[in-house]
């Protein structure tokens, strides 16, 4: 792959209980485990960062494929729910649910666009076959 852009981020401290910072300082956050995992919940966590990135990336892909399919994606929104849990082998796994809202499209056209975006989005391509991803078109 010929890279068009490379993001660089640094983690320090205890990882989930530490700090993350992008090389350009546009992202500069304390990380804390969520209360559900024994933490204070007083910072962001990797699952929130992944959800933010995936939802933004998927929405961009949705706009691209919408244009190609003739589907009006103006006002569209994507919510990503990223869950973490045991993989049953001593480690952890992620699962993702993407809720796709396209207010100006029929249910059929919205589903077509969501399915097409799932083939274009780099996050979808990176997770395919490794992370369970569910896509729901919502109204």
Q: Let me know whether 61 and 107 are in one domain.
A: yes
What's the residue count for the chain?
139
Q: Let me know whether 52 and 28 are in one domain.
A: no
Q: Let me know whether 114 and 82 are in one domain.
A: yes
Q: Let me know whether 30 and 84 are in one domain.
A: no
Q: Let me know whether 2 and 52 are in one domain.
A: no
Question: How is residue 57 written in tokens?
Answer: 């990336």
Question: How is residue 137 written in tokens?
Answer: 């078109």
Task: Report CA-CA distances (Å) from 48 to 28, 66, 80.
Answer: 14, 26, 9
Question: How is residue 52 written in tokens?
Answer: 């933010």
What pLDDT shows up at residue 7? Answer: 97
What pLDDT shows up at residue 90? Answer: 96
Residues 78/106, Cβ–Cβ less than 8 Å: no
Residues in the chain with pLDDT < 70? none
What pLDDT shows up at residue 112? Answer: 98
Q: Let me know whether 66 and 130 are in one domain.
A: yes
Q: Let me know whether 36 and 60 are in one domain.
A: no
Q: Let me know whether 99 and 36 are in one domain.
A: no
Q: Let me know whether 56 and 81 are in one domain.
A: yes
Q: Let me know whether 69 and 53 are in one domain.
A: yes
Look up the CATH number of the domain holding residue 98. Answer: 3.30.300.20
What pLDDT shows up at residue 19? Answer: 96
Look up the CATH number of the domain holding residue 27. Answer: 2.20.25.10
Q: Let me know whether 6 and 23 are in one domain.
A: yes
What does DSSP assign to residue 57? Answer: H
Q: Let me know whether 38 and 51 are in one domain.
A: no
pTM as predicted: 0.94
How confident is the model over 59-86, as pLDDT tens digits?
999 999 999 999 999 999 999 999 999 9
Q: How many domains does the chain have?
A: 2
Quote the domain boundaries for residue 90.
46-138
């Amino acid at each position: 792959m010929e890279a068009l852009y490379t993001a660089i981020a640094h983690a320090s401290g205890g990882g989930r209980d530490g700090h993350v910072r992008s090389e350009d300082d546009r992202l500069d956050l304390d990380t804390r485990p969520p209360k559900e995992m024994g933490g204070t919940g007083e910072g962001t966590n990797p699952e929130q960062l992944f959800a933010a990135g995936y939802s933004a990336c998927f929405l961009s892909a949705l706009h691209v494929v919408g244009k190609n399919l003739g589907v009006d994606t103006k006002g569209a929104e994507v919510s990503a729910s990223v869950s973490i849990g045991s993989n049953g082998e001593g480690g952890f796994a992620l699962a993702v649910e993407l809720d796709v809202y396209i207010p100006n499209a029929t249910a059929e056209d919205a589903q077509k666009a969501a399915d097409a975006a799932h083939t274009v989005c780099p996050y979808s391509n990176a997770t395919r076959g490794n992370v369970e991803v569910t896509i729901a078109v919502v109204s």
